[in-house]
Structure 1
């Protein structure tokens, strides 16, 4: 063995090419290269559930080092989400009237799963490290035993098979795995001392030694060829891993002829340097690409920031903005990886704004759903009332109430989409049913009112004929009036004309009744008018108005009488006033008779 060792027990070849000291180091080195070649998922975008499920998969991972490294990366992300949920739970607890000292947060099934799997991952890693440590200690013990056997072999009497025995011990030494870096220096120093001592003491085996060195040269040349071929390997990660294995074999092969030593070393170093140069070039190119990707993602992250504060009360605008931000998300996902040192901050910037937008959107639609649910309850109440009114026969009252319900229905906002058509259809059917029934009833009433109009016109004609041909009597008037009242309602557009014709006909009829004084005719005319008012829907108002008119006339006549009586006193002191006095007395007498008649009419109205 002529490969030089430095003072730390590490060969110059190891130092130049990154040869590793332990299997754990190899796992970590392999994992570091893997992170360069294969972009890991962006764990910052994972939900709490996804992170918990990821730990479950990591717990099954055979590579304990890789699983534990991933756990280190995702645990702060999970803790951040869990802490946020705990804070929100505490806010709700306090908002509901709880005391801060009474608050206790137990977490959910994801928290328990995450913690359990995290412990399992750490336990597997610690177990793996203990096994590695135990293996290194065991390797140390084995190598110390082999060193002792080498000493015994060298201290013993010379034997023809001593060379083969020493070679076997060297083979066993090579087969033993790595030891801890601490005792490695002493082990390698003792090993090389014994090897040198063996070859120095075995000059009789010089030719065999030279043959062995030539054999070692052949083997090392084979390793060099393999190293040179690695340059064409498409997978840089696999090439680095295999190169480390070649370094390990190269290190444990025996010495080569001295004249070949430097050339062999240089050739192997050149092959190794080419692989690492390729790696460096790949990393350099990757870093440039990652930087370009970083600039692209920073630009998109800036665009998404404006969405974090977006707010509107229009559904259409929310949907439009959603399409825009999803388009940006698609662009974001198409961009490759970015430098790991910047990834967390950039991803946080993008996803915080992204989540803030959708949180605001969810709040808006939740509030909208609550309003629509409230509107649905109102419309359900309106529907129930419409269904109650649809069978009503109180046409005018029910029609007014239904029209009011229809107006309130229009004023109420939208309801959930899934029931919108159904509830409107039911409400419309209830309203349509009532108004169809009402129209049918109205058509029937219109026919009856037309018949009533014809009857009343015939009665008016009978009154007019009796007044003309001299057959008018009080008994006939009473009979015709009763028939007129019993005839019922007439069409609205004929009400005024038939009423006026009837009043005029009655006046003519009363005026044509023989044997009645003017006062009796007036009295009879008034009684007839009052009788008509009994069936008038506005009878109270009309009676009140008629009473006021009579009272005004009474007041005027009384004032006139008082004035005339006062004037009589002046006539008493005047000569030749007899004729004037008689004229005034006659006016007073006529007025008092009129006053008496008016008071009778007033009394008659009050009796109605």
Structure 2
């Protein structure tokens, strides 16, 4: 029995050393988790965001907390975002209040009586920030309460354990008493294991007290030492199973990458390992070394992955630097075309999509600076684009005023009820002005056009209604002119009846007939000119020159009667061009004759050029006569 007691004491000392090793590993691993597994949050320049965007960010953080529960990492991230947004909001509030104050002073001469209420977006940001802070405070208050509760529970368990030890030492213990005492002891162990964390200042003291009482309990139970050995063997089996689980996790890294989930699972296994009692002394250290080696494989993989992550972070930085350099020229882009601005916007948005698609993180300081420059470059481009469209919108507002005035003018003409060529021409001119004015703001595009079209259509509908009788008269005039043309054509076939007097009679009759429908005007005029030309050609007592003059006079009279002076101006211009060309040719030929005196064939050449000059002079005289006729008509 003495030897068993001595072995028990040695075993307890070995357990104490092993437990200290476990506690030390727990602290080291927790530190590694804190340092190596803290996620690097992407830096955001909140000064570049609008209030609506800030509200969206805070609402997303709250939504994540509500969806996944109040977790420390989410609460910490949300509080960090809220804390970084706070100075930005303070600057916005200060700037808006100062602007309002200056406006109030400008209006009232002083700041007395000035009150300022922040807008709904500002109040919303304040409200969301307070809600995030409240959730964080509530969470940690509940954690503190839970730790306080756990402290009371564990204190109570230690008191129960002390009472159990006192009962063991103050009474005779039989097999039944030993069993019930052992059951109570195991129950205390289970309840201790189930109890959560407590405040750190008390943790070491409670653990030391608890372990000391456990040691005392086992020391006092020498008579029941075999039961303790059985429990240790059971602990050895359980620890061996936990070693196998960790080893399986380590082996799984051959087929899959290291993840946060794998580490979390390993940490849960480690927690179970800590709370198991001691194993037989000959197996205790072996099991611990086996477990530690498997855990080292996991953490070495994590460290290697972190080194690889640094490499990936640098690669991400290089790629994003290339994107930033590609958009720098966009900051100085300028154009007067909407189409070109829109095309350029598509290009820069494609670069933005590439930037956003690169989800990986960058080195903290370099990445923060690069992100700031990238979003600043984007902002510069869109500010320049916004300025272009503001100026364009201002021009469209001016166009809207001009088109509104045109609508008013047409409506006034319609209300006056005047129906004369001058009024009609005025409406047509207003329509031309409308076409010459550029676009108006999009929201007024249809309404202003419908207003103008409605007024113009009403005017011309009214005019068409009044002109029905005129159209009927025009149809009658068409019939008369067609009848006259047929008589002229018949007279041209009977050459004996052709004479200038009858020609003049035809012309007078044509002039006395009024207008014909516009759609038939050109056709009937062409047929009339053709009939007159045929008739003039049939007059035998006229020379060719007289015939050409008669035809020209007829065309001039026809054009003059139709009030189409543009045709006469074109004909005048054509004749002037021919006159100029003939005068130049005559001057050239006359100049060349002076050089023919020295030539052996001068007489023959001179005679030929004299003939050309005389012919050209005849044509020139005829063209000048035609020009005189046209000028008199104009």
Same fold (TM over 0.5): yes
Counterpart pick for 2:274 among 227, 242, 251: 251
Distance 1:344 1:103 in 2: 39
Contact 2:328 2:377 in 1 (8 A): yes
Q: Distance in 1 between matches of 2:329 and 2:103?
A: 31
Contact 1:309 1:357 in 2 (8 A): yes
Contact 1:3 1:11 in 2 (8 A): no
Whole-angstrom CA distance in 1 between matches of 2:232 and 2:19: 25
Which of 292, 298, 302 does residue 325 from structure 2 map onto?
302
- The two structures have a TM-score, normalised by structure 2, of 0.59
Gaps of 5+ in 2: 1-11, 478-506, 514-556, 562-634
- The separation in 1 between residues aligned to 2:146 and 2:62, in whole angstroms, is 24
User: Cα deviation per residue 1:3-49 (whole Å; 9 max; x = unaligned)?
Assistant: 446999971331453389xxxxxxxx69984847xx88979678133
Partner of 1:556: none
In structure 1, the residue matched to 2:70 is 63
| Cα distance in structure 1, aligned partners of 2:249 and 2:317 | 32
Instruction: Answer with 428-437 or 90-99: which moved more.
Output: 428-437
CA distance in 2, matches of 1:404, 1:281: 81
Cα shift readout 1:497-550 (whole Å, capped 9, x = no counterpart):
xxxxxxxxxxxxxxxxxxxxxxxxxxxxxxxxxxxxxxxxxxxxxxxxxxxxxx
> 1:335 maps to what in 2?
358
Asked whether 1:203 is paired with 2:222, we answer yes
Selected match of 1:350 from 351, 357, 374: 374
**Aligned residue runs from structure 1 range 474-493, under 5 A:** 493=560
> 1:106 is matched with which residue?
118
Structure 1, unpaired ranges of 5+: 21-28, 456-489, 495-608
Residue 216 of structure 1 and its aligned partner are, at CA, apart by 1.3
**Match 1:395 to one of 421, 440, 449:** 421
1:207-226 aligned within 5 A: 207-226=226-245
Greater Rg over alpha carbons, structure: 1
1:387/1:430 contact within 8 Å kept: no
Q: Does residue 380 in structure 1 map to residue 390 in structure 2? A: no
CA contact (8 A) 1:136 1:180 kept: no
Aligned match of 2:208 in 189, 200, 212? Answer: 189
- CA 1:92–1:155 in 2, change beyond 3 Å: closer, same or farther? same
- Deviation track 1:145-196 (CA, whole Å, cap 9, x = no partner) reads 2442254245323513446244444344333333322223333333333333
SS at match of 2:69: coil
- What does residue 437 of structure 2 align with? 412
Helix, strand or coil at the partner of 1:18: helix
- Pair 1:371-2:383 in alignment: no
Q: Which residue of 1 aligns with 2:136?
A: 122
Aligned pairs, number? 449
Mapped pair 1:238 → 2:244: no
Query: What is the root-mean-square deviation in Å for CA atoms of aligned residues?
Result: 4.4
Could you tell me how far apart the structure 2 residues matched to 1:368 and 1:298 are? Answer: 34
SS in 1 for 2:361: coil
Deviation at 1:325, TM superposition (A): 1.0
Contact between 2:393 and 2:441, CA under 8 Å: does it hold in 1? Answer: yes
Q: 1:215 offset after TM fit, Å?
A: 1.5
Say which is worse superposed, 423-432 or 61-70, in terms of deviation: 423-432
Give the Å deviation of 1:217.
0.8
**3-state SS of 1:195 partner:** helix
Question: Residues 8, 166 of structure 1: CA spacing in aligned structure 2 closer, same or farther, 3 A cutoff?
Answer: closer
Aligned to 2:538: none
d(CA) in 1 for partners of 2:439, 2:470: 34
Contact 2:79 2:136 in 1 (8 A): no
Distance 1:132 1:309 in 2: 60
Flag the 1:287–1:140 CA change in 2: closer, same or farther, 3 A: same
Pairing partner for 2:53 from 9, 25, 47: 47
- Look up the match of 1:141: 155
1:287 aligns with 310
Give, in whole Å, the separation in 2 of the partners of 1:229 and 1:223.
10
Any idea what SS the aligned residue of 1:47 has? helix
- Name the CA shift for 1:236/1:153 in 2 (closer, same or farther; >3 Å): farther
CA distance in 2, matches of 1:298, 1:324: 17
Structure 1 Cα separation of the partners of residues 25 and 200 of structure 2:
16
Q: Cα distance, 1:268 vs. partner? A: 0.3
